[in-house]
A and B are shown apart, each in its own frame.
Chain A
Amino acid sequence: MIEAVLSIGGIGLTAAVALGLAAKKFAVEVDPRELAVLEALPGANCGACGFPGCGGFAKALVEGKANPNACTPGGQGTVEKIAHILGIAAVAADPRVAVVLCQGDNRQAALKYRYVGMGDCNAAQRLAEGPKQCPGGCLGLGSCARICPFGAIEITDEGLAVISRELCTGCTKCVAACPRNVIRMTPLSASVHVLCNSHDKGAQVRKYCAVGCIACHICAKTVPGAYVIEEFLARVIYEHHQEAGAAVEKCPTHCIRDFARGYPPGSRFAAPTVPVGGKSAA
Chain B
Amino acid sequence: MMRKLKTFRGGLHPPEHKERTARLPIEDCPLPEELVIPLSQHIGAPAEVCVAKGDKVSRGQLIGRARGFVSVPVHASTSGEVLAVEPRPHPSGKWLPAVVLRPDGADAWGEAPTPVDHRELAPEQLRELIRSAGVVGLGGAAFPTHVKLSPPPEKPIHTLLINGVECEPYLTADHRLMLEESARILTGIDILRRVLGARRVCIGIEANKPDAIAHLDEVCRGTEVEVAALAVKYPQGAEKQLIAALVGREVPSGGLPMDLGVVVHNVGTAAAVADAVAQGMPLIERVTTLTGPALVQPKNLRVRIGTPLRHLVEVCGGLKVDLAKIICGGPMMGAAQLSLEVPVVRGTSGVLLLGEDDKAARAEGACIRCGRCVRACPSSILPTTIAAYARLDRFEDAERFRAMDCIECGCCSYSCPAAIPLVQAVRHAKAAILARRRKL
**Residues in A lying within 8 Å of B, measured CB to CB:** 112-113, 116-118, 120, 122-123, 126-129, 146-147
Q: Is the CB of A118 within 8 A of B393?
A: no
Q: How far is the CA of A46 from the CA of B428 in the complex (A)?
A: 23
- Determine how close the nearest CB of chain A comes to the CB of B398; give it in whole angstroms: 13
CB of B369 within 8 Å of the partner chain: no
Q: Is the CB of B93 within 8 A of A128?
A: yes
23 interchain pairs (CB within 8 A)?
A112-B338, A116-B361, A116-B421, A117-B421, A117-B424, A118-B390, A118-B391, A118-B421, A120-B390, A120-B391, A122-B428, A122-B431, A123-B427, A123-B428, A126-B427, A126-B428, A126-B431, A127-B336, A128-B92, A128-B94, A129-B94, A146-B393, A147-B393
Interface residues of A, dominant DSSP = loop
CB of B425 within 8 Å of the partner chain: yes
Collect the chain A residues with CB atoms within 8 Å of residue B393's CB. Answer: 146-147
**Residues in B lying within 8 Å of A, measured CB to CB:** 92-94, 336, 338, 361, 390-391, 393, 421, 424-425, 427-428, 431-432
Q: How far is the CA of A248 from the CA of B196 in the complex (A)?
A: 69
Q: Is the CB of B336 within 8 A of A113?
A: yes
Q: Is the CB of B432 within 8 A of A122?
A: yes
Q: Is the CB of B432 within 8 A of A113?
A: no
Q: How far is the CA of A192 from the CA of B421 in the complex (A)?
A: 40
Collect the chain A residues with CB atoms within 8 Å of residue B94's CB. Answer: 128-129
Given pairs A112-B338, A113-B338, 15 additional interface contacts (CB within 8 A): A118-B391, A118-B424, A120-B390, A120-B391, A120-B428, A122-B431, A123-B428, A126-B428, A126-B431, A128-B92, A128-B93, A128-B94, A128-B338, A129-B94, A146-B393
Collect the chain B residues with CB atoms within 8 Å of residue A113's CB. Answer: 336, 338
Minimum CB distance partner of A113 in chain B: B338
Minimum CB distance partner of A126 in chain B: B431
Q: How far is the CA of A123 from the CA of B426 in the complex (A)?
A: 10
With A113-B336, A113-B338, A118-B391 known as contacts, the answer to whether A123 contacts B425 (CB < 8 A) is: yes
- Determine how close the nearest CB of chain B comes to the CB of A192; give it in whole angstroms: 33
Minimum CB distance partner of A122 in chain B: B428
Residue from A112, A117, A129 with most neighbouring chain B CB atoms (10 Å): A117
Minimum CB distance partner of A127 in chain B: B93
Residue from B93, B390, B431 with most neighbouring chain A CB atoms (10 Å): B93
- Determine how close the nearest CB of chain A comes to the CB of B389; give it in whole angstroms: 12
Q: Is the CB of B93 within 8 A of A123?
A: no
Collect the chain A residues with CB atoms within 8 Å of residue B338's CB. Answer: 112-113, 128
Q: How far is the CA of A80 from the CA of B265 in the complex (A)?
A: 67
Q: How far is the CA of A120 from the CA of B364 in the complex (A)?
A: 14
Q: Is the CB of A129 within 8 A of B391?
A: no
Minimum CB distance partner of A114 in chain B: B361
- Determine how close the nearest CB of chain B comes to the CB of A147; give it in whole angstroms: 7
Q: Is the CB of B336 within 8 A of A123?
A: no
Q: How far is the CA of A116 from the CA of B364 in the complex (A)?
A: 9
Collect the chain A residues with CB atoms within 8 Å of residue B390's CB. Answer: 118, 120, 123
Q: Is the CB of B93 within 8 A of A118?
A: no
Q: How far is the CA of A120 from the CA of B338 in the complex (A)?
A: 20
Collect the chain B residues with CB atoms within 8 Å of residue A147's CB. Answer: 393
Minimum CB distance partner of B95 in chain A: A129
